[in-house]
């Protein structure tokens, strides 16, 4: 059997793995928990707020600062839900369609995790500031048991990114702030899935793909403000990720035994989406501020996973563009204490008929509450709590192992994401110096 056919199986796993983070909290495999302050109001108005805590959402947020500021945040993400088989079938060579077997449901396949982030901003005079944010916008781990009905799509998957964004911002006038930054992003991925042998009586084989790489993108934004309102607009570019790593196939026996292999320097590339963010904050009274934010995600760039030599093939993903909308408020209960809350709705970029066990993504509602407390004149503690509720969704992508060969093994996936939700607890601190 050719390397091409087996590598296409690897590509299927790779493409699915990057989508699965959706059920952890944010949209598809984007995690938005980069600020405890933002979490408390369900990520509404971030592009229009100021300071280092908003640097990820708008590089202009630090323009015109008079004091240096640093922020550190951590979010504990606790996803829950069930991925259930509703009649998945497999047809092995020479046979007829039969149930795939294995455990009929997997509960909580996405691991709990802690997402850290931080930023620093330093003014250079009255109008110019430089900043640096360090975030992890695409990170998760999923773990299906070897006996899961979804084993041919997913076993263990890990994705980690580190985004480093140096930024320059300028207060051009008393009402206009602009900023731009470079996004230097490191990606590390590791994923595995089972491979069917030609007989159901034989134990499964295994496939594991690992890769990593450094890539570049950019962000630019502006803010317009007066005494009562601030409008912020940001564009974050799509990033083409180029990963290089290893592919190992083992455990195949009988007529498939010759396909066991270990390959190095396998190349794969894919895009993470561009974002257009429009945020607004309206100070209705001295104590009450209303926030709103709309984000457009250019998920259509995630149209395929493309593999380089020696495979030279592409596997379609066909994600669609999507939106999120959020509103919330900040209420200054006292000089030291600010309370906040908000709600966000986000669409899934995955499509019915093309969703598999690694991508049980769906539309979701995000409800947030939070508070900030000034412990000293220079240090403020931020806390936020979110409950994310996911709509049930079908898992229904048709796949085939060893496609185009005599061992072709179609898998008619029929499953469902059920009762999925997540609790997110965020804590952060902001220091002025």
Query: pLDDT at position 4, please?
Result: 40
Whole-number pLDDT of residue 26: 55
Q: What is the pLDDT of residue 159?
A: 83
**Tokens 């979701």 correspond to what residue?**
364
Domain count of the chain?
Answer: 1
Q: CATH code at 35?
A: 2.40.160.60
- 47-81 pLDDT, tens digit each: 999 999 999 999 999 999 999 999 999 999 999 99
How many CA atoms lie within 13 Å of 131's alpha carbon, on the beta-carbon side? 39
Predicted pLDDT at 404: 85
- The string of pLDDT tens digits covering residues 211-240 is 999 999 999 999 999 999 999 999 999 999
DSSP string, 126-148: TTEEEEEEEE-SS-EEEE--TTB
Torsion of CA 42, 48, 49, 52, to 10 degrees: 100
CA distance 405 to 411: 15
Residues with Cβ within 8 Å of 10's Cβ and at least 6 positions away in sequence, in order, are 207, 209, 247, 266, 307
Beta bridge partners of 150: none
pLDDT of residue 81: 93
Residues of the domain holding 362: 3-432
Q: Do the Cβ atoms of 350 and 29 come closer than 8 Å?
A: no
- Compute the distance between CA of residue 382 and CA of residue 113 in angstroms, rounded to an integer: 19
CA atoms 355, 111, 81, 386: torsion sign? negative
* Residues with pLDDT less than 50, the chain: 1-24
Nearest to 14 by CA among 254, 246, 192, 147: 192
How many helices and strands in the chain, by DSSP H and E?
2, 25
Do residues 177 and 170 touch, judged by C-beta distance below 8 A? yes
pTM of this structure? 0.91
Cβ contact 239:218 at 8 Å? no
């Amino acid at each position: 059997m050719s390397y091409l056919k087996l590598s296409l199986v690897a590509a299927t796993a790779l493409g699915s793995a990057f989508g699965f983070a959706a059920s952890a909290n944010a949209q598809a495999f984007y995690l938005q928990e980069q600020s405890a302050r933002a979490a408390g109001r369900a990520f509404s108005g971030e592009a229009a707020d100021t300071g280092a805590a908003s640097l990820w959402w708008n590089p202009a947020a630090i323009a015109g600062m008079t004091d240096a500021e640093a922020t550190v945040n951590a979010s504990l993400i606790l996803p829950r839900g069930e991925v259930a088989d509703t009649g998945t079938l497999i047809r092995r060579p020479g046979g007829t369609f039969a149930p795939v077997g294995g455990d009929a449901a997997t509960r909580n396949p996405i691991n709990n995790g802690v997402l850290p982030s931080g930023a620093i901003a330093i003014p250079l005079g009255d109008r110019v500031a430089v900043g640096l944010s360090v975030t992890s916008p695409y990170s998760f781990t999923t773990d299906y048991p070897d006996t899961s009905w979804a084993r041919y799509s997913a076993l263990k998957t890990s994705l980690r990114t580190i985004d480093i964004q140096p930024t320059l911002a300028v207060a051009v006038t008393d009402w206009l702030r602009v900023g731009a930054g470079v996004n230097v992003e490191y990606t590390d991925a590791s994923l595995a899935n089972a491979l069917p042998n030609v007989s159901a009586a034989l134990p499964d084989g295994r496939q594991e793909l690992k890769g990593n790489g450094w890539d570049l993108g950019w962000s630019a934004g502006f803010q317009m403000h007066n005494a009562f309102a601030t409008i912020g607009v940001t564009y974050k570019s799509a990033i083409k990720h180029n990963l290089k790593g290893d592919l190992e196939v083992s455990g195949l026996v009988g007529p498939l035994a010759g396909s066991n292999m270990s390959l190095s320097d396998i190349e794969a590339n894919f895009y993470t989406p561009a974002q257009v963010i429009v945020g607004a904050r309206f100070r209705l009274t001295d104590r009450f501020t209303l926030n709103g934010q709309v984000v457009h995600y250019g998920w259509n760039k995630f149209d395929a996973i493309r593999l380089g030599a020696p495979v030279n093939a592409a596997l379609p993903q066909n994600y669609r563009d999507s939106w999120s909308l959020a509103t919330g408020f900040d209420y200054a209960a006292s000089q030291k204490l600010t309370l906040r809350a908000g709600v966000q709705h986000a669409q899934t970029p995955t499509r019915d008929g093309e969703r598999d066990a690694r991508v049980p993504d769906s539309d979701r509602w995000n409800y947030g509450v939070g508070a900030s407390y000034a412990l000293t004149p220079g240090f403020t503690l931020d806390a936020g709590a979110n409950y994310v509720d996911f709509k049930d969704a079908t898992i229904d992508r048709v796949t085939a192992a060893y496609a185009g060969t005599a061992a072709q093994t179609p898998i008619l996936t029929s499953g469902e994401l059920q009762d999925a939700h997540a609790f997110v607890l965020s804590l952060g601190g902001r220091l002025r110096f």
